A and B are shown apart, each in its own frame.
Chain A
Amino acid sequence: MRLSTLGFIASEAVQNVRRNPVMAMASITTAAISLLILGVFLLVSVNLNLWTHTVEGQVEVEAFFRPHTPARAEAAAVSAVRRWRGVQAVSFVSRAQVLRSMRREYGSVLTALGNHNPLLDEMNVKVYRPRDVRAAVLRLRRMPAAAHVTYQSRVVERLFQLGSLVRMGGIVFAALLALGALLVIHNAIRVAIFARRREVAIMRLVGATDGLVRGPFLLEGTLLGLAGALVAVIVVGVGYHWAMTVVQRSLPFLPLAPIERVVPDLLEVLGLGVVIGYIGSRLSLRGLMRG
């Protein structure tokens, strides 16, 4: 295809938008709203993931030895775990040490125990990377000397659950809105085709290929979707930057994903806008090509 033909398609598409500014605005606004909501959900999901990983990274895995495990076996287990890949540090805490620290903390509450110590010896395992936590937990559970292995699993799992809930909810909600945007763009292109039925007839009359007849409408729909997505991405991006500043000032301990980390998600939103616009206009053209 010649460059001048692409120019022709582009100029026809732009003329279409100019002739129907109200319809174009409606399409762009609907696409922008749906993609904005999707963008917000995506960013919340990215940050929930980040928090999950941060919490996971902070947790120490605690492995309790079985009662009456010989001290030599415990020491062997500790040094074996130290050699595991991904393990940063292992510390052994005897049940006597635990009881002493508990007594310091809770005082008289524990006097009823007398000299009896119901606690177990334990080792605290720290890993380098958050993703190694689960592997370490599984390996520790398989050790014969280990009676019980625990980590702050509930917090991590709840964050995980919340993350996927937000992501799923966001996707479903945004998909419904995206469908709405798609239908509005579909309608805008149908209106454009109706408004330009004379040109279309003349184009066919003088030998325009199907591609050339379709081109301006496809481009128009795609541009409307892209424009809506651009508005959404700009609003979400600027809003996120503002939120980061506010959060960093008032809740400095709360980690937030840096802007460069959310760029791929924003690009996805942009791509989705293009897809919505393209499909919306493509659907409108089915009848035109049959006619």
Chain B
Amino acid sequence: MIEFLGVSKVYPGPVEALRNVTFRIDKGEFVFLVGPSGAGKSTILRLIHREERPSQGMILVNHHPLNKLRRRQVPFLRRQVGMIFQDFRLLPDRTVYDNVAFSLRVQEASPREIRRRVPETLDLVGLGHKAQVFPQHLSGGEQQRVALARALVGRPPILVADEPTGNLDPETAAEVVRILLEVNRRGTTLLMATHAKALVDSVRRRVIALDHGVVVRDDAVGAYDVEA
């Protein structure tokens, strides 16, 4: 589903963000990407979303090599890869419903599809009753769930999450992860970059650890830190 083959990324400076990174994530997996700040976690997510291009190596998403992807094909890749962030990135002047529907409108879905899928997805994240509320009247956890609904409403087979619980208290973070696990159970491949040690340790899924742009650990059922 997602494959990195000898991927390096050097930013102007030069700053080496990734060095010869190789891993493969299969369909339906739930993978944590851990490591200290600056380890290269966000760079990996940005590369999958084609916001950046690798300096070296090859990336395959859904068997498509991203290196060969033309500019005009990028939007269609992004429809296959939902993305959520630590800072939610919601539109403050639109209701919860409109924030989620915005994604489908942009993807040129029919009005009927929008009317059907938005409430469905809001129910999945437990916000069906807040459809007409504006984001500023929601808690952090609820805002992240709206962002999650926006990322999922187009039914992407892959979801990448960049520190989605970074701004949330432990209880709310656990709730968001619970929803992510449910989404994964329904078949979505999930890659989540995080610093939340307790969550990673409690969920017990595959863990890819990065340090200074290098994969230092890839455990099929791992913890945040190296287990003795």
Residue ranges of A at the interface with B (Cβ–Cβ < 8 Å): 1-2, 4-5, 8, 198-199, 201-210, 212
Contacts and interface: CB of A to CB of B under 8 A. Distances in A.
Interface string B75-117: 1111100110000010100000000001101111011000000
B35 interface: no
Most chain A CB neighbours (cut-off 10 Å) among B106, B110, B151 = B106
Contacts of A8: 105-106
19 contacts: A1-B108, A4-B108, A4-B111, A5-B105, A5-B108, A8-B105, A8-B106, A198-B89, A201-B89, A202-B91, A204-B75, A205-B49, A205-B78, A206-B106, A206-B107, A207-B76, A207-B106, A208-B75, A209-B72
Interface size, B (range): 20 to 34
B154 interface: yes
B146 to A, nearest CB: 12
> Which applies to chain B's interface (DSSP): helix, strand, loop or mixed?
helix
Contacts of A210: 71-72, 75
Most chain A CB neighbours (cut-off 10 Å) among B72, B76, B102 = B102
Contact of A206 (B72, B103, B110, B111): B103
Nearest to A208: B106
A5 B83 CA distance: 23
A207 B111 contact: no
B47 to A, nearest CB: 15
Most chain B CB neighbours (cut-off 10 Å) among A202, A205, A206, A209 = A206
Nearest to B110: A4
A158 B151 CA distance: 72
B150 interface: yes
Contacts of A4: 105, 108, 110-111
Contacts of A198: 89, 91
Question: Which 3 residue pairs are nearest across A and B when measured between Cβ atoms?
Answer: A207-B79, A207-B78, A206-B103
A205 B75 contact: no
Contact of B78 (A2, A199, A204, A212): A204
A196 to B, nearest CB: 10
Interface string B184-208: 0000000000000000000000000
Contacts of A199: 91
Interface string B150-168: 1100100000000000000
Contacts of B105: 4-5, 8
Nearest to B80: A207
B145 to A, nearest CB: 16
Given A207-B75, A209-B75, A202 B102 contact: yes
A210 B76 CA distance: 11
A206 B91 contact: no
Contacts of A2: 108, 110
